[in-house]
Structure 1
Amino acid sequence: MKNPGFRFLLSAIAATFTLCFIVIVIPPLISDASVINAFLGGFVNPYSTGYALDVICCWFVLAVWILYESKTKGIRHGWIALVSGIVPGVATGFAVYLLLKLKQEK
């Protein structure tokens, strides 16, 4: 896959996930107005708990990777990916980091 196609695909995935997050998560969050309840909603049964723990652990893996590459390869602005990995989610944070990395490796 060529670099422009890779960038487009990453951007499309991040944008699609962000749009789905906005449509699915934000309305109940606004009506409930409780971030804590929204977070705890991911742990209502063993299956959702498994998915929630996977996402949380993936964010920590992403954080370790970003911190490592900031020191060893000089990749800057990884904090943007870490924040976008929290809201809307790791899928967006990971895509953002890869796009940042691609831009800086030129």
Structure 2
Amino acid sequence: MSRNLYQALLWVFGLGFAVAFNLVVMPALLRDGDILGGFAAGFVNPYASGYALDAILCWCVLASWVAWERSTLGIRHGWIALLLGIAPGVATGFAFYLLLRLRQQPGAAPGSPPT
């Protein structure tokens, strides 16, 4: 995969999720104004709970990765990805972090260890 295609896909997926989040979640949140209730709604049954736990733990994995690469590779501003991982969600935060990482490590292949 070319670097340009990789970047384009990250933008499409990251922004795509942000748009979907705003179309699906924001109207209900603005109508009800119940952030805690919205969070709890992710756990209404075992299937929803599985997806919610997956998203929460994916954010934890992303946070670990951001912290690790900050100390080992000097990747800066990863905290922005963690905020985006909370709202709109991990898909947007993760895509942002990969784009940020790619920009700060231009010679590195995506996900490759430092040489």
TM-score by length of 2: 0.91
Aligned counterpart, 1:10: 10
**Pairwise CA RMSD:** 0.5
Larger helix fraction of residues: 1
Aligned counterpart, 1:51: 51
Read off the aligned partner of 1:48 and give its amino acid letter.
A
Q: Give the Å deviation of 1:82.
A: 0.2
Q: Which runs of 5+ in 2 are unaligned?
A: 107-115
Aligned counterpart, 1:21: 21
Number of residue pairs matched? 106
Q: Give the Å deviation of 1:70.
A: 0.2
1:68 aligns with 2:55: no
Q: Give the Å deviation of 1:2.
A: 1.1
TM-score by length of 1: 0.98
1:104 aligns with 2:104: yes
> Following TM superposition, where does structure 1 have runs of at least 4 consecutive aligned residues deviating by more than 3 angstroms?
none
| Alignment deviations for residues 47-92 of structure 1 (CA, whole Å, 9 cap, x no partner) | 1011101110000000000000000000000001000000000011
Aligned counterpart, 1:38: 38
Identity %: 52
Q: Give the Å deviation of 1:43.
A: 0.5
Q: Which runs of 5+ in 1 are unaligned?
A: none
